[in-house]
């Protein structure tokens, strides 16, 4: 997986490294991702509408992985109970690749403990399905994969509006 991620990085314009956030897989930490994306958007001088869209997209993508949502398959409850040993909390990773033309955001569970339920992908009225429907409405492309090698991964691309050069 690491080799594939490096290859994808090299294929991007300028071979940029992403800004990566790894947070505990808990709802209260999703707000941190929203704040970081908003701050990045402000730093990049994006318009308010684009910043708001990016914040919603990151929130909904993260929510797809949280065990409390209808669209996620949580870790096996039986594994956590009865053994006396607690597993470390799972986490989410958000990678943001910035370029003047587009932002690419990748959200995944590096521990591969939370998977997006395939049934939620087709049902816009389920929790995960509604989130994915909102994401699709706000981004230019979305790819959701789920396999044993990478686990569940959501990759999003939002093209940025052309910037108008201002004369000083």
For residue range 17-50, list pLDDT tens digits in order: 789 999 998 889 999 999 999 999 999 999 999 9
Q: What was the pLDDT predicted at 111?
A: 84
Give the span between the Cα atoms of 127 and 68, in whole angstroms.
Answer: 9
Q: Supply the pTM of this predicted model.
A: 0.74
Which segments of the chain does DSSP mark as H helices, in order? 2-11, 27-43, 48-63, 77-80, 118-122, 127-138
Q: What was the pLDDT predicted at 137?
A: 94
- For 50-92, what is each residue's pLDDT tens digit? 999 999 999 999 988 885 444 444 444 434 444 444 555 689 9
Pick 2-11+18-74+89-159's CATH classification: 3.30.70.100, 3.90.420.10, 3.90.45.10, 3.30.565.10.
Answer: 3.30.565.10
Q: Alpha carbon 90 to chain centroid distance?
A: 15
Sketch the domain layout of the chain as residue ranges.
2-11+18-74+89-159
Q: What was the pLDDT predicted at 118?
A: 58
């Amino acid at each position: 997986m690491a080799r594939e991620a490096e290859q994808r990085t090299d294929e991007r314009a300028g071979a940029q490294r992403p800004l990566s956030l790894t947070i505990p897989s808990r709802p209260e930490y999703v707000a941190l991702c929203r704040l970081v994306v908003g701050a990045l958007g402000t730093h990049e001088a994006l318009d308010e509408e684009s910043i708001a869209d990016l914040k919603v997209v990151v929130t909904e993508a993260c929510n797809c992985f949280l065990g409390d949502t209808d669209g996620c398959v949580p870790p096996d409850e039986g594994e956590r109970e009865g053994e006396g040993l607690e597993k470390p909390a799972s986490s989410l990773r958000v990678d943001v690749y910035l370029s003047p033309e587009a932002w690419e955001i990748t959200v995944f569970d590096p521990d591969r403990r939370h998977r997006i339920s395939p049934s939620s992908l087709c049902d816009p009225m389920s929790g995960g399905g509604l989130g994915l429907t909102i994401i699709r409405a706000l981004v230019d492309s979305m790819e959701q994969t789920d396999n044993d090698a990478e686990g569940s991964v959501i990759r999003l691309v939002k093209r940025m509006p052309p910037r108008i050069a201002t004369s000083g």
